[in-house]
Structure 1
Amino acid sequence: MRKTMSAAVLAMGLVGFAGAAEAKGCIKGAVVGGIAGHAVGHTFAGAAAGCALGRHQANKRQRTRDEAVQPAAR
């Protein structure tokens, strides 16, 4: 019980230091990754990996959109 409470207090303290994050792609990826991870017993690891993958895909889509717009602007 003491370890759980310590971990919760530490996590809540670290939330205060977190800066503004862009969640584009992360939330949907975290949900999908969390569900897939839960199926194999690793919910939080799946959510973290899903968030990273979702963010990567969102960045890739944004680069593609930016490249498509730039030639038209010239």
Structure 2
Amino acid sequence: MRRMFAGVVVAMGLAGFAGAAEAKGCIKGAIVGGLAGKAVGHGFAGAAAGCAIGRHQANKRDRARNDAVQPVAR
């Protein structure tokens, strides 16, 4: 119980430092990764990996959207 409480306290403390732009894609990825990781006994590692993958996918979508909107200067 103490370990879970300590984890919640640390997570809440770190949440204060995260900006809105940083979390784009991370929240959804962390939820999916955490659930998948929990199924095999590694929930925290799954959440961390899911967050990283979610951020990568969000950045890729943003780059594609920006490339489609801005014409190439010649």
TM over 0.5: yes
Superposed CA offset, 1:14-53 (max 9, x none): 5387242521111110011001000110001100100000
Asked if residue 8 in structure 1 is aligned to residue 10 in structure 2, the reply is no
Q: Which runs of 4+ in 1 moved over 4 A?
A: none
Measured on the aligned residues, the alpha-carbon RMSD in Å equals: 2.9
What does 1:1-74 correspond to in 2, within 5 Å?
4=3, 8=6, 11=10, 15=14, 18-21=17-20, 22-71=22-71
Structure 2 unmatched ranges of 5 or more: none
1:17–1:28 distance in 2 versus 1, CA, 3 Å:
closer
Q: What is the letter of the counterpart of residue 32 of structure 1? A: V
TM-score calculated relative to the size of structure 1: 0.74
Determine the C-alpha separation between the residues in 2 that align with 1:34 and 1:50.
Answer: 7
One-letter amino acid matched to 2:53: L
In terms of Rg, which structure is larger?
1
Q: TM-score, normalised by structure 2?
A: 0.74
Question: What residue identity is the alignment partner of 1:66?
Answer: N
Q: Which sections of structure 1, spanning at least 5 residues, go unmatched?
A: none
> What is the total number of aligned residue pairs between the two structures?
72
Residue identity matched to 2:65: R
Higher helix share: 1
Identity over aligned pairs, percent: 66
